[in-house]
Chains A and B, each alone.
Chain A
Amino acid sequence: MKDSAVKGRRRGPEADVSTLLGDDHEVFKAVLSGEEVGPVAVVGDPFSGRGPVLDRAVRDLDATRVSLDPGDGVDRIRARIDGGPVVIEDCQHLYERRIGGFEELSAFLDDLASIDATVVTGWNRYAWAYLAAVQSLDREFPVTVEIQPLPAERVAELVLDRYDVMPAFVADDPERGGSFVSTRHEIGWRDWSVSVPIPTLSPVAVKDLFSDGNLDPKDVTFGRLATVSNGNLGVATAIWETRHGSEVRPSDIAVAASDRDLDREEAFCLRIVLAKERINRAQLTGIVDGLDRVLGRLARDGLVTVEDDIVELVPAAVPAAAPATDRGRIL
C-alpha cells in the first residue's frame, strides 16, 4: 500500500507476509529460496498489501526494486535491470485499454523470457483478471500468489496499532435502525417517472442481527470493518479514518456509497481506475466518452479523486466500486 493512499496517521507494522499470502506462502518461500523457478506474479486487490510481500522479496533476494507509475513503460524496467533479481511493483501500468495499448506489456513479456534471474512482479487483481482473459497473461507466470483477506482479529490489531489514542467502543443503540440501506431507482410508466427510495437489507447489518448480542462492541466493530473492507487492510484503514469523534459504534463503520446506479460510461471508467489504482487523465481521454463529466460525477460520489491530472481510486470506496462495476459485467 502506498502511504499516500492513507494520510494523517502514524505508520505501524504491516501485516506479516505469511498472513497476507495464506496457503500461497509456502510456494512464495520456495521461490525466494531458489527451490522454485519464477517469474512470480503477486496478485492482490487495491491497497491489500502487495507492498509488504514485494518488500520481503527485495530483502530475501537482495533484488533491484522498480516501482512503475502511470505512463511508465518497459524502458523504465530495462534501465534498472543489471542481471540480478528484480522486483517490479504495479505492473498494471504496463498496459492501456486501447488499440496499441499492449505494446509495452508485450515487450516486457518478451524480455521476461530472456531474463535468467528471479523476477517478482506485483499486479492489481482486476488488471490481472482482465489481462489473463484477453492476453493469457497467467500463462507467462508459472508461479502466482494471491493476497488473502485478513481475519477480523488481525485487521483490528493492525488498525489499532497505527494510532496512539484508542477510541471508546460503544454498542449500537438497539432502537437505532441500521438494517436497511436506501437506494434510489427510477420507476416509469409511459411518460411518467418518479425517483423512489427502495430499502434493501444491509448484509453487514443482517450478520450483526444473527450474532450474539452480548459481544464486545470492539469485536463487533472490527468484525464489521473486516466484512465491509473484505479483509483489505488498506481499505479498512481508510474506512476507519472516515469516522469522527472519540467514540465509535459498529454502525459508524460504513462504506460511503452513491445511492444512484452508474451508467455504462461511468462504470467503465471506474473499472479502469479500479484496475490501475492511479492513472493519468490523458490515458483515459479517447477511451471514455465525455470524460470530464464522468470524472466529475465519480468524484462527487466519492469514488475517485482527480488532482494534477492524476485520477486516483479512493481506498475507502473500493468496496462500493467493485460491485458497481461487477453488476455491469465489465471485464
Chain B
Amino acid sequence: MTALQALVDLGIAQETLTRIVGVLVAAYLTARVVGYVLTAVVEHIPRRRISIKILVPITRVLIYGTAAYLVFGPLLQLSAAQLLAVSGLFGAALGFGLKDLFAAIIGGLVLVTERPYQVGDKVTIDGDYGEVTDIDLRATTLRTPDDSAVSVPNATMFTANVSNANDGQPEMMVVVELAVTASADVDRASTIVKEAMVTSKYVYVDDDHPFAVLVEDESYYRTIRGKAYVADLRDEFAFASDVTERSMAAFASEGIEIPEAPVRAPEHR
C-alpha cells in the first residue's frame, strides 16, 4: 500500500495503475498463449516448423510493444520541451553505459528483418554451436548439443561470423566420419557406410537432398566420410550415432579393421 500511495502521490491515479497492471498481465498471458499455440502447431507441421517458430519472437515484440505504448502513451504525455530533454538524457545514457544494450537491441531488430538465421536453425556464432531456440530483442539463445543454453548478444552478429547449417530448412546435412586401416577393403567399407546411412530411420533422401560417400587417404589410414540429410535437424546426433554404431558393428563382423591409436613405448631409465 505504501508503494501504491507513493505512486498516487506522484499523480498517477489508481484507475490508471489498475489499467497498467491489467495491460501488463494481459500482454504476458497473451504472449504465453500465442507462444504455446504456435509451438503446438509447429509439432504437427514439421515442414513449416522454422517459418512458424520465427513468428514467436515477432509476436512477442508486437504484444509487448503494444503494451508499452498503451502504458506509457497516456502516462507520460510529454510536452515538446520535456520530450527533447528526455531524448537528450536517453542519448547520453546510451553513449555512456547502454551502448552495448542498444547495439544488442538493434541487432535483434536486424535479425528479425534480415534473418541470417531463424528460430530452429542450427548455427555457429562466435564458436558456440547449437539450435536457435529463442530470439529476443537483446540476445539469441542457443541450445548446445550438451543441452546447455547459451545466450549470445545479438550485437555479436555484427562482429563475428555466423555459420548456418540448415538456413531455415527442416532438413540438414550430417557428416559421419569413420576410419579404417590402409590395408582394409575400402570399397566394402564405403558400401557399408552408404547402406548404414540409407537404412537409418532418420535419413531423408530426394533429388534435392542426395547422399554421398567419400574416401580420403590419410597415409596410415583411410577416412570414409558419409554425407546425408536428416528429415529433422534435431535428429543430427541420433543419425550420426546410428550410422556410426551400425557401421562399426558391420566392420567388426566383416573383418574390416579400424586403426588403433599409436602406443608410446615406455622410456627406459
Contacts and interface: CB of A to CB of B under 8 A. Distances in A.
Given A134-B205, A327-B46, A99 B231 contact: no
Interface string B165-186: 0000010000000000000000
A101 B206 CA distance: 20
A329 B46 contact: yes
B170 to A, nearest CB: 8
A128 to B, nearest CB: 14
A327 B195 contact: no
Contacts of B105: none
A59 to B, nearest CB: 37
Interface stretch (B9-17, B21-29, B196-204): B196-204
A99 B246 contact: yes
Contact of B205 (A187, A265, A287, A331): A331
Nearest to A185: B40
B250 A100 contact: yes
Contacts of B257: none
B201 A133 contact: no
B134 interface: no
A133 B206 contact: yes
Given A135-B198, A268-B201, A330-B201, 19 more contacts: A98-B195, A98-B199, A99-B196, A99-B199, A99-B246, A100-B250, A133-B205, A134-B198, A134-B205, A185-B40, A187-B36, A264-B201, A265-B201, A328-B46, A328-B231, A329-B46, A329-B170, A330-B231, A331-B203
Majority SS of interface residues in chain B? helix
A99 B201 contact: no
Nearest to B171: A329
A283 to B, nearest CB: 12
A97 interface: yes
Interface of B: 36, 40, 44, 46-47, 170, 192, 195-196, 198-199, 201, 203-206, 211, 231-232, 246-247, 250
A169 interface: no
Contacts of B205: 133-134, 331
Residue of A97, A99, A264, A329 with highest tally of chain B CB at under 10 A? A99
Contacts of B203: 331
8 contacts: A99-B192, A99-B199, A99-B250, A134-B211, A287-B199, A329-B47, A329-B231, A330-B231
Q: Which 8 A-B pairs have the closest CB atoms?
A: A329-B231, A134-B198, A268-B201, A133-B205, A99-B195, A97-B199, A99-B250, A99-B196
Given A133-B206, A268-B201, A101 B46 contact: no
A97 B231 CA distance: 17
Contacts of A287: 199
Interface residues of A, number: 20
Contacts of B195: 98-102
A329 B199 contact: no
Interface string A93-136: 00001111110000000000000000000000000000001110
Contacts of A264: 201
A331 B47 CA distance: 14
A243 to B, nearest CB: 29
B204 to A, nearest CB: 6
A329 B235 CA distance: 12
Interface in A67-103: 97-102
B42 to A, nearest CB: 12
Nearest to B193: A99
Contacts of A329: 46-47, 170, 204, 231-232
B44 A327 contact: yes
Contacts of A102: 195
A30 to B, nearest CB: 28
B151 to A, nearest CB: 20
Contacts of A330: 201, 231
Contacts of A101: 195, 199
Interface string A131-148: 001110000000000000
A306 to B, nearest CB: 20
Contacts of B47: 329
Nearest to A100: B195
A311 B70 CA distance: 63
Nearest to A134: B198
A187 B246 CA distance: 35
A230 to B, nearest CB: 20
Contacts of A133: 205-206
B40 to A, nearest CB: 7
A329 B170 CA distance: 10
A224 to B, nearest CB: 24
Contacts of B201: 264-265, 268, 330
Nearest to A129: B206
Nearest to B235: A264
A94 to B, nearest CB: 15
A187 B40 CA distance: 9
Interface string A182-219: 00010100000000000000000000000000000000
A97 B195 CA distance: 9
